């Protein structure tokens, strides 16, 4: 089973806060997309988050690595953990509901198990993992809608883009294990977001025009939220929860985020999800609980 600890009241509170912060990012991105382009949303997120993170790194006097291997690691993480998934998810949200995007995003853990098994010797597949992955993929299929696998439409492409983003996140996990193990989390986050900004700010400038802050108040608030709260604050909170709760319990964030995104999408944007999406999320949640060993532990305690 994954590293799993008993959750204290404080750990639960911070776990729920992290889920709320990340669950609301889908709404904030969708609001920003009403006024700025997909590439600009990513560029703003990376630029401002990197700026703040480097400020924290220097304020705490953390060591800044100079080894080429580490900066290669930053480049790979910037590509796999930021540029590809942020761009695909943000574009997808132009054509599918933010709640559905969050549900598909939950498949990251499912892909993560498969990719880790392929590239990491200590992450071999077990029967529990195989069953959890199979249930998870069934849930994803329901959430997307089986009919979307047989037709070509912008909605189908958007769902495929979101699913590809989760695969990119899975490869990012392996890349981090290979290149960034032992590095302080703040330094790793600052490094990968710096590479992301170096790529995405010029790309957004060339394709969508220069970045500007001459935007409506709600767009500026949305940018501030997803760049600072959902990126900088979330990184800090993530590692606090990891230390308190363990990696197994941290997976609960994956289950808590979609309901938050669904409720916010309904309340603010008036989104309505197909019932199959909700059924699919339920099946996916079951797969994740099997995957991290909770179902197995519950069954053992019942015997």
Predicted confidence (pLDDT) per residue in 83-103, tens digit: 999 999 999 999 999 999 999
Asked if pLDDT for residue 21 goes beyond 80, the answer is: yes
Predicted confidence (pLDDT) per residue in 216-252, tens digit: 999 999 999 999 999 999 988 888 887 776 666 777 7
Contacts (Cβ under 8 Å, ≥6 apart) of 55: none
145 — alpha (psi -120 to 50), left (phi > 0) or beta?
Answer: left
Is residue 150 very low, low, confident or very high in pLDDT (cuts 50, 70, 90)? Answer: low
Q: How crowded is residue 124: how many other Cβ atoms within 10 Å of its Cβ? A: 9
Q: In this structure, what are the phi and psi dihedrals at residue 234, rounded to the nearest 5 degrees?
A: -65, -40
- Rounded to two decimals, the pTM is 0.90
* Structure tokens given for 290: 């099997």
Stretch 277-289: mean pLDDT: 88
Distance from C-alpha of 244 to C-alpha of 90, rounded to nearest angstrom: 31
Distance from C-alpha of 97 to C-alpha of 268, rounded to nearest angstrom: 12
Q: How far is CA 32 from CA 167, 217, 239, 285, in A?
A: 25, 10, 27, 29
pLDDT recorded at residue 157: 92
Question: What's the longest Cα–Cα distance across the chain?
Answer: 63
Asked if pLDDT for residue 149 goes beyond 70, the answer is: no
pLDDT recorded at residue 112: 87
């Amino acid at each position: 089973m994954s590293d799993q600890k008993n959750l204290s009241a404080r750990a639960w509170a911070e776990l729920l806060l992290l889920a709320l912060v990340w669950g609301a990012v889908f709404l904030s991105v969708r609001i920003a997309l009403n006024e700025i382009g997909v590439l600009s949303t990513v560029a703003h997120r990376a630029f401002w988050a990197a700026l703040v993170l480097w400020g924290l790194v220097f304020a705490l006097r953390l060591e800044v690595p100079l080894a080429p291997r580490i900066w290669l690691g930053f480049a790979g993480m910037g590509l796999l953990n930021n540029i590809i998934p942020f761009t695909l998810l943000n574009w997808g949200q132009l054509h599918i509901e933010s709640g559905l995007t969050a549900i598909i995003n939950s498949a990251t853990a499912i892909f993560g198990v498969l990719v880790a098994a392929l590239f990491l010797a200590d992450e071999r597949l077990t029967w529990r993992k195989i069953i959890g992955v199979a249930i998870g993929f069934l849930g994803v299929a329901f959430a997307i809608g089986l009919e979307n696998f047989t037709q070509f439409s912008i909605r189908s492409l958007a769902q495929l883009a979101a699913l590809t983003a989760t695969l990119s996140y899975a490869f990012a996990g392996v890349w981090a294990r290979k290149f960034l193990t032992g590095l302080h989390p703040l330094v790793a986050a600052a490094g990968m977001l710096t590479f992301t900004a170096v790529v995405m700010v010029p790309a957004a400038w060339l394709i969508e025009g220069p970045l500007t802050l001459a935007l409506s108040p709600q767009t500026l608030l949305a940018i501030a939220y997803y760049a600072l709260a959902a990126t900088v604050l979330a990184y800090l909170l993530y590692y606090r929860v990891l230390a308190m709760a363990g990696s197994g319990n941290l997976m609960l964030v994956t289950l808590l985020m979609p309901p938050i995104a669904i409720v916010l999408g309904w309340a603010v944007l008036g989104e309505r999800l197909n019932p199959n999406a909700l059924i699919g999320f339920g099946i996916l949640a079951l797969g994740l609980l099997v995957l991290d060993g909770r179902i197995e532990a519950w069954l053992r305690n019942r015997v």
